[in-house]
Amino acid sequence: MAALQPRRIDLGDVVLRPFVVSDEAAVAVALQDPGILRWTAGTAVISSPADLRARRWLEPRIDGWTHGNAVFAVADSETDRVIASVTLRDVHRVPDQAVAAYWVSPVARGRRLGARVLDAAARWGFAADGLRLHRISLDHSLVNEGSCHVAVRAGFQLEGVMRDYYVEPTGQRHDSHLHARLATDVVPQPAGS
């Protein structure tokens, strides 16, 4: 995949920016959340000793832009502390498409931040001065209802159910929702934007 030029998107109270090494402590806090660990960490991170998980998660994301993945740390504008993450990965692996992923640290939940940052990343992804995408998809286990709420609030329409698609590191399988948003979809700004 072609390298991407790192970007910064300012939303006022938060900023989407590339991850840096000094984000490790904030990522470690987020990875203590069982939901983030279960749904977004991946087998390599989960199988690492707890004190090394944040570094293991962070290292490939710092280099993500050079590998065709727009990996955003979502940081508090005043403190620059990471409170969420949103990624557009596999950019143009399929022409004009990408796949979204996101998490919100427990310290920042309840503010509808996930939908705001997913929407901001999507708008940039579709923009002429962004990635010029046409379609961004995402999926989540049906058990992960919070992720479904974020996707819908950010304008990602439910397209269907993928049977036994998500496999947990334990081997347990889950049906998953497939959501997508097109550049041509009319999506109002999420509340709080």
CATH fold for the domain made of 9-132 = Aminopeptidase (3.40.630)
Pairwise CA distance, residues 48 & 27, whole Å: 14
Closest CA to 166 of 40, 48, 64, 33: 40
Residue 122 sits at φ, ψ, to 5 deg, of: -65, -45
Neighbours of 70 (CB within 10 A): 25
pLDDT in tens, the chain (193 residues): 789 999 999 999 999 999 999 999 999 999 998 888 788 877 788 888 888 899 999 999 999 999 999 999 999 999 999 999 999 999 999 999 999 999 999 988 888 899 999 999 999 999 999 999 999 999 999 999 999 999 999 999 999 999 999 998 888 999 999 999 999 999 887 755 4
- What is the pTM assigned to this prediction? 0.93
Name the residue ranges covered by the structural domains of the chain: 9-132
| Cα 43 to Cα 166: distance, rounded to the nearest angstrom | 12
β-strand partners of 16:
9, 74
Smallest CA-to-CA distance from 3 within 51, 75, 52, 69 is with: 69
